[in-house]
Amino acid sequence: MSEGRATGRVEARFVPLTGYRPYPDDEMLRRAEAFRAEMARRRTVRQFSDRPVPRGVIETCLMTAGTAPSGANLQPWHFVVVKDAATKRRIRERAEVEEREFYRHRASREWLDALAPLGTDERKSFLETAPVVIAVFVEKYGLRADGSRFSTYYATESVGLATGLLIAAVHHAGLVSLTHTPSPMGFLNEVLARPASEKPFLLLVVGYPAEDAAVPDIERKPLEEIATFR
């Protein structure tokens, strides 16, 4: 990260907008409907094949995530791609410790009842089976070359936007994914050797579905329940 971008002491510089492509109204609607249909096929999967995923696919999906907007363009995200079996095992072991506490002690009855239709429990075998686990971190603050700190702005929101693009990119590439958020997740800093300036945001499990993969029988809310036009 440049000193100028970290401190905001450089004058704003603008270049022409060259990437925008206008479309007729009917073409915009066609494209919007096609993308909606594409994303409507996306499902969270918990049964993964161990079939390897090409590194180039993951790299390209991460570059897509990196196009997300961010507060002051500080891009406060870091993605750790884990393919090593021993490291995935350590992540699973540590995650299941927290998950056992969650399901047995921390979660309210209401929360557990809400999760019941999804069939989740403390066992997280997908963390080992899936070929790729991406740990997403939020940069709570940045560090200059001299070791001094600078603030990041809307960091959590920015990383959420980047993660959404990553999930969409993974699906568009032909893979499936699962978001996993063991709580607390501080152990990821230790296991993955990330600095204290970064906070774990979530684990994104990525790969191909197992041949016998099944998903919960759920429905999406209709437009009138998720949007208001005024």
Q: Give per-residue pLDDT as tens, 38-97.
A: 999 999 999 999 999 999 999 999 999 999 999 999 999 999 999 999 999 999 999 999
> What pLDDT does residue 70 have?
98
pLDDT at position 132: 98
Catalogue all structural domains in the chain, each as residue range(s) with its CATH number: 45-210 (3.40.109.10)
pLDDT at 222: 97
User: Residue 28: how many CA atoms within 13 Å on its side-chain side?
Assistant: 5
pLDDT of residue 128: 97
Is beta strand 149-151 parallel, antiparallel or unpaired with respect to 141-143? antiparallel
pLDDT of residue 11: 86
CA distance 125 to 96: 9
pLDDT at 2: 42
pTM passes above 0.85: yes
φ, ψ (nearest 5 deg) of residue 179: -90, 130
Instruction: Check if the beta carbon of residue 213 is closer than 8 Å to that of residue 47.
Output: yes
* CA-CA-CA-CA dihedral for 126, 128, 133, 138, to nearest 10: 90
Q: Could you tell me whether strands 132-139 and 141-143 are parallel, antiparallel, or unpaired per DSSP bridges? A: unpaired
Helix (H) or strand (E) holding 48: none
Structural contact between residues 44 and 215, judged by C-beta atoms closer than 8 angstroms: yes
Q: What's the gap between Cα 85 and its chain centre? A: 21
